[in-house]
Amino acid sequence: MKAAVLIVGALIFLLPPSSSARAPRCDASVDKVRAEFEAFIKESRSCRVDADCGVAMASCPLPCGTVVARASIVKVEKLAADLVQGLDRSCKCKYKCGPPRDVACRDHVCVERLASQ
């Protein structure tokens, strides 16, 4: 992948490679990893009270923090690590995670508590 150079007047900008320049196999691999992770966490969000909920951490390309049942955090984090480890090195990315989320149990499902709740 090559970076693009954009010259505007006397200013030169070095643009990073676009995501479309990434190999199609990467996009397919990342989509598959995300889909498998999402399917797993759908079954990992059951709760009765707010204290049943917590945040499982993962790395890119998966969400930094995913609200799940506390009892499932270790399994979710293990799956996330295994899925990311299985990606080709060129498919990996980096980003900074925000602060931990506040969680709640709503209708027996762990969710992120919004500021207005």
* Average pLDDT in the chain: 79
Whether 85 is covered by a domain: the verdict is yes
Phi and psi dihedrals of 73, rounded to 5? -55, -50
CB contact at 8 A, 102 and 112: yes
Whether 117 is covered by a domain: the verdict is no
For the chain, how many structural domains are there in total? 1
Domain hosting 76: range is 4-112
| Token couple for 49 | 């009270």
Could you report the per-residue pLDDT of 59-108, keeping only the tens digit for each?
888 988 999 999 999 999 999 999 999 888 777 676 777 776 799 999 99
CB contact at 8 A, 67 and 45: yes
CA distance linking residue 36 with residue 61, whole number of Å: 12
Whether 44 is covered by a domain: the verdict is yes
Where b means 16+ CB within 10 Å and e means fewer, 65-81 reads bbbbbeebbeebbebbe
pLDDT at 54 over 70: yes
